[in-house]
Amino acid sequence: MLNELIRVEVTGSRLKRLEAEGPAPVNVYTRDDIDKSGQPNLQRFLASLTEVSASTGEGGFGTTLGQGTVQLRGLPLGSTLVLINGRKVQGVGSFTGNVFNLNLIPMAAIERVEVVPLGSSAVYGGDALAGVVNVILKQAINGQSVTARLGSGQGYSDGSVSLATGGRSAEGEYLLMGSYSRSSPLSMQQRAFFLDADYRRFGGADERLNYCAPGTVSSPSGNLPGLNSNVAGIPQGVSGQPLKISDFQASAGTRNLCNVWTTGGGVALFHGYETLALHALAEHQLGGSWSAFTELTYTRDRMHARDLGLRLGNVLVPAGNPFNPFGADVRVTAALGPENGTEGLARQTNFTRALVGVRGSLAGSWDAELTASTTSDRGGSQSWNEAVNSSALNAALASTNPATALNPFASGRMASDEVLRGIWSDNRRRSVGRKDQLTGQVRGTLLRLPAGAVDSVIGAEASRDSYDVSSTSETHGSRRSAAAYGELRAPLVRGGGEGADGWSLAALTLAARRDHYSDFGSANTFQGGLEWRPARSLLIRASAANSFKPPTILQTHVNDVVYQAATYRLVDPARGGEAITSGTVVRTANPDLTPEHGQARGIGAVWEPEGGHGTRVSMTHWQMRIRDMIAVLATQSALDNEKLFPGLVTRAPGANGQPGQVTSVKSTEVNFGRVDTSGTDLDVAYVWKTSVGRLTASGGASRTNEYRVMLAPGAPLVDRLDRRFRDFWAPSWKGRLSLGLDQGTWSLGLTSRYLGGYKDIGTSERRLGKFWTHDLAGRVDVKKLWPDLLSGFRTASLGASITNLADREPQFAQGAPFYDVTQTDWRGRYASVRLSLDW
């Protein structure tokens, strides 16, 4: 019944409205959608969406090294704003201060995810250049609930369990949920694709190197003593027995060749995790229409994975080394076996999000809300065996004492723990990011027009962000910011009949916001949208918005480091290309940095017939422009474009009309780059009611038809459409087709995901993509199927899914790691089961 509809708030607007669809598209993915996808974490689920053109990747080759994030439209890292329950979180991570780690949001607590795939800074502030991902957490339940999940694939497994309790009454509601999840890592050693790095079988090159266990020995000059060659592969020895020259006869003239990425533990394709999380909220009625509410989320996340073996790169082994069988100086290239230790990464993060607030009604139709919140990310990471003490290494190779010497010819242990730990040591890093925020807003009817009420929101925010890093050097930075914003929706023309049978034939939405930051100044953003409904079931819409992304704290707080310019091999174009042999290069902060700016446009239509029970057709054409992108300017580019970036080059006094010699060049972040991208999104769903059940066929596609980038001064625009890059780019097509049957007691669905064709990195003509991946998911309502089973439970359901049914392996791509990190999931065929019980 129309008169039973209530106003709800949706992402993309702070207004409450009857229709979920507004002037800008908002894609809503429910908990059921997440479960049916079969994806093991939020990052992988988001990466499977059509509006996410590229991913930062997982594992040791991922851009964020195990931190979950999202790149809407494949746009640069950090250009998508992440919200939790519509509120900002600290924009930091334990590894990098530039992104929020999605893995810190407990999967069990997620109710739905709402995505605005267009810039939206006028509503939510900075960082929304590409759009917004709003993660909505569960609000309340009546009773208790437990959910257990197990997943498995070749060489790895994962699982989780969550327990929740909650209730509702006239005085308020509460929810308390705890969850635990764990997943094992997967390394390159566990996939046959990498075991032999001779990729000529794929049309690539032989990428094998001498880094093997054991490795290869060579002579600094002439042949190796006793052999007729200057090189020989080191043979597998017998533990405790030294090698002899005769042991090398069979391998003389050959090298031991291996894939360096599979040495030691092997580089992680994805890391292992162990996560303990708590999610709680409560609301209590204070009297009248006013209530107090609070939210608390705490996550303790541990990430780990072994990595490469320790390596010796063409090291000199003196004749006096007791394990050197040649009695002369030789050189060895090798990887140490895992018995000697490996490189690797372990990281622990404690994430806390706490919020308190009050809300209620004011005079007339107005309501108000005031909240205070804090979010923090406290992390520590340990990179095992990352630092090499060259002096200790050379001393161990030159030692004549077997107890203190390094044996580079061994197949197993090469030295004692004391010797190894003296050469290879760990690097430790600690970081703390925090955001404290106070927000207040009022919302209500500003005035009434003949076509209806003008709804409006007026609000303000004040916050303090800080980020502290302690590792080999320390960085401490903070900033304060404040914002005022407003939004309104004005119906222009009313259509249909009077009263409940009418609707807004046309409506205008406007939003404006002003942000002020303590470290770089202010930014003004605006947003407008137009809705036209010629029929209740048809919406034609258009929107336009500008957006911004402030410099991160790490970009505005840089510790000065001085280097000798001669090591950079720079030339001075102002002095005829003269080589710069003196002076300095100073890595420093740029006090003149300004925000990155963006513009977004969208036009489209949505048709949802009344009584269609889910039937829908939606099409949106979108366009985004990003300007003043922030990046560290190459030192030579600063010299080549001295007039464009004044103040970066310092010179001695000139003479005879010629500029003076360069005395210093600043290496710093500047505003320069640009991205132009556009495309069309299409979604179609049709529902049939049959005697068997509810049959749904749906499809969606994102067609990107432009993606041009300029990153260097004076350089032409680079076409990144359908051309693989390691950071940001887009394929022309990404789509999905789904067919599902819901009988009520059980449901079954098949989804096929499509990735369009594109070219490999650089100037390669190798074609990648252009394939389908098929997923299967099903669910059984146990209580409906067997009412007498599990009599103590109110509801019980069992779900199962299989992603990548055909076990499709990622494609070979040129250059390490020899697959496309931005499009690849190495899980292969992955099956999971899920049991949920309520009582």
**For position 1, what pLDDT does the model report?**
33
Q: How sure is the predictor about 393, in pLDDT bands with cuts at 50, 70 and 90?
A: very high
At 240 the pLDDT is 67
**Would you place residue 239 in the very low, low, confident or very high pLDDT band (cuts 50, 70, 90)?**
low
Cβ count near 271 (within 10 Å): 26
CB distance 313 to 263 below 8 Å: no
8 A C-beta contact, residue 728 and residue 76: yes
Is residue 222 predicted with pLDDT exceeding 80?
Answer: yes
Rounded to an integer, the average pLDDT of 784-802 is: 90
Question: What is the per-residue pLDDT for 5?
Answer: 39
- The pLDDT tens digits of the residues spanning 457-466 come to 999 999 999 9
- Give pLDDT, residue 132: 94
pLDDT digits (tens, 9 = 90+) for 98-133: 788 998 999 999 999 999 999 888 888 888 999 999
Neighbours of 727 (CB within 10 A): 15
Q: Is 582 exposed, middle or buried, given 0-12, 13-18 or 19+ CB atoms closer than 10 A?
A: exposed
DSSP label at residue 551: P
pLDDT at position 6, please? Answer: 42
pLDDT at position 95, please? 60
Reading the block at residue 594, the tokens are 């300004």
pLDDT in tens, 164-216: 999 999 899 999 999 999 999 999 999 999 999 999 999 999 999 999 999 99
Query: CA-CA distance, 219 to 264, in Å (whole number)?
Result: 26
**pLDDT at residue 672 greater than cutoff 70:** yes
What does the pLDDT look like over 7-16, one tens digit per residue?
A: 445 566 766 6
171-180 residues labelled b (16+ CB within 10 A) or e (exposed): ebbbbbbbbb
Q: Which stretch of DSSP H or E encloses residue 31?
A: helix 31-37
Q: Sign of torsion, CA 453 7 363 459?
A: negative
Q: What is the pLDDT of residues 442-453, one digit of tens each?
A: 999 999 999 889
Mean pLDDT of 88-96: 73
Q: What is the mean pLDDT of the chain?
A: 92
pLDDT at 656 over 80: yes
pLDDT at 498: 55
Helix (H), strand (E), coil (C) string for 219-287: CCCCCCCCCCCCEEECCCCCCCCCCCHHHHCCCECCCCCECHHHCCCCCEEECEEEEEEEEEEEEEEEE
- pLDDT tens, 38-49? 999 999 999 999
HSE-up of 257 (CA within 13 Å, CB side)?
Answer: 10
Alpha-carbon gap, residue 521 to 591, rounded angstroms: 11
φ, ψ of residue 622 in degrees (nearest 5): -130, 155
